[in-house]
A and B are shown apart, each in its own frame.
Chain A
Amino acid sequence: MHSFWYRLNGLLTFSVTILAIMCAIASLSDNLNTPSPSAEIQVMNINWFQKQPQGNDEVSLTMNISADLQSLFTWNTKQLFIFVAAEYETPKNSLNQVSLWDAIIPAKEHAKFWIHTSNKYRFVDQGNYLRGKEFNLTLHWHVMPKTGKMFADKIVLTGYSFPEEYR
């Protein structure tokens, strides 16, 4: 500590180390949060339901997605990444998950929303097993922190099914 530069170096290293510890504690504080999210998805319409030339089923649907994800935000949350996936079982695959729509929620005020949209990404099966099939729609969210650990969870909504015939 016997010169200006020694002291400056010591101060900078110590302050950055302390900052790292503060960020770790901030991330741990996220565990104190007990979120209570809710969501609802209505399939308003099956726009069309066809078999592609290659033999795979494809469907286009319009959904009404409403959710209240405000309780997921903490002081250490940068943004929320959410997506809706359809899950179903076929003889070929025991679990299929197809991502239909996603969004980024940058602030708590935007976390209570509803949106009327068709699927953002194409819903194509590996095969032609969709006719009359029952499926779940799950809303997944990733709580992306400003610093530290990311939390991910989901809500599963059941009771949806495809039409018996192509249209």
Chain B
Amino acid sequence: MDWQGQKLAEQIMQIMLLVSAVISFVAGYVLGSFQMMMIIYAGGVTLTALITVPNWPFFNRHPLNWLDPIEAEKHPKPQVAGSSKKKGSKK
């Protein structure tokens, strides 16, 4: 998941859980059934989990541009003073 995706996942999770809580409380109160409140809330939590926890593709629409390995070899890492210059090992 990329950074934008993580932010989106967190926002969706918080909003969906709060909305589930409100809907389930109102439904339970109006129906006079504590059990209905718990069932609806559990359903809401499960739905939120299915949408926000797995690494869905739509969370990865702004992927990070990692540097190409060939490109990285052309720019070796800075050396510690005193040791001789070495080339990075080929992978």
| Shortest beta-carbon distance from B28 to chain A in Å | 7
Contact of A11 among B7, B41, B45, B55 (CB under 8 A): B45
A152 interface contact, C-beta 8 A: no
User: Are A11 and B17 touching (Cβ within 8 A)?
Assistant: yes
User: Are A18 and B21 touching (Cβ within 8 A)?
Assistant: yes
The distance in angstroms between the C-alpha atoms of A8 and B48, with both chains bound, is 10
How big is the A interface, by class?
A: 20 to 34
A19 interface contact, C-beta 8 A: yes
For the complex, count residues of B whose C-beta is within 8 A of A. 27
The distance in angstroms between the C-alpha atoms of A14 and B32, with both chains bound, is 25
Smallest Cβ-Cβ distance to B2: which chain A residue = A2
Main secondary structure of the interface of A (DSSP, over half): helix
Q: What residues on A are CB-neighbors of B17 within 8 Å?
A: 11, 14-15, 18
A76 interface contact, C-beta 8 A: yes
User: Are B21 and A7 touching (Cβ within 8 A)?
Assistant: no
Supposing A18-B18, A22-B21 touch, asked if A75 and B32 sit within 8 A by C-beta, the answer is: yes
Contact of B34 among A7, A8, A11, A75 (CB under 8 A): A75
Q: What residues on B are CB-neighbors of A19 within 8 Å?
A: 21, 41
The distance in angstroms between the C-alpha atoms of A7 and B16, with both chains bound, is 14
A39 interface contact, C-beta 8 A: no
Q: Can you add 12 more A-B contacts, CB < 8 Å, to A22-B24, A26-B29, A75-B34?
A: A1-B7, A1-B10, A4-B54, A7-B9, A10-B13, A14-B14, A18-B21, A22-B25, A25-B25, A26-B25, A75-B28, A146-B34
